[in-house]
Amino acid sequence: MSNQNILPARQLRAGNCFFCDPELHDIKLVVGLGNPGPKFNATRHNIGFAVLDELATTLGFSFESKSNFELANFVASSGHQIKFVKPQTFMNLSGQILPHFLKGGLKSEQILVIHDELEKPLSSVALKFSGSARGHNGLKSIIDFVGPNFWRLQFGVGRPEDKAEVSNFVLSRFTPVEQPLVQQSLVKIQDFFNCKK
């Protein structure tokens, strides 16, 4: 898919199916962004890790520790093979895991990155192909290695009123009021991948 064919972000809705979507048929690598270590668990910036942990339970796979990432292999009933990856490099260096997969012939268009998105309302989930990092250092690192033409699953985490608070905000945890909304969206993503596994 070239830049001329970029589609606008589309909201993930009930009934959407990852394995039935012809635009996503070629995806072979799903990368959930986050920071390693207990102190970052359940923070907004780690929503990519949270999504993959939920999918591991739903789809029945487990992660294996590698040199600088955690990896799980999954084969759907359709034969669609996917690698799920959690970088262990810290967010700003997330792209460093990609050469391991690129040397096997992986193309950027076959990558889906799941990440927190400040520009989306809390708990909204959208699919988007290509675009800039928009200040997200994890996306910037991915772009440094493969360019901008990869898929993104954007998970809205809200935004602080004061821009100076963004760094602290993304490393904060969801409030008790926000948690049910976040959980609803996590279930929606599980259903998206579990439609015809």
Q: List residues with catalytic annotation.
A: 45
Q: How far apart are CA 116 and CA 101, in angstroms?
A: 23
Please spell the DSSP secondary structure of 137-170, one letter per residue: HHHHHHHHHH-S-SEEEEEE----SSGGGHHHHH
**Residues near 112 by beta carbon (within 8 Å), at least 6 away in sequence:** 24, 27, 29, 30, 31, 150, 151, 152, 153
CA 104 to chain centre: 21
Query: Taking a C-beta distance cutoff of 8 angstroms, is the pair 100, 54 a contact?
Result: no
**CA distances from residue 146 to 59, 89, 94, 172 in whole angstroms, order as listed:** 28, 17, 12, 29
Query: Taking a C-beta distance cutoff of 8 angstroms, is the pair 157, 44 a contact?
Result: yes
Q: How far apart are CA 71 and CA 57, in angstroms?
A: 15
CA 187 to chain centre: 15
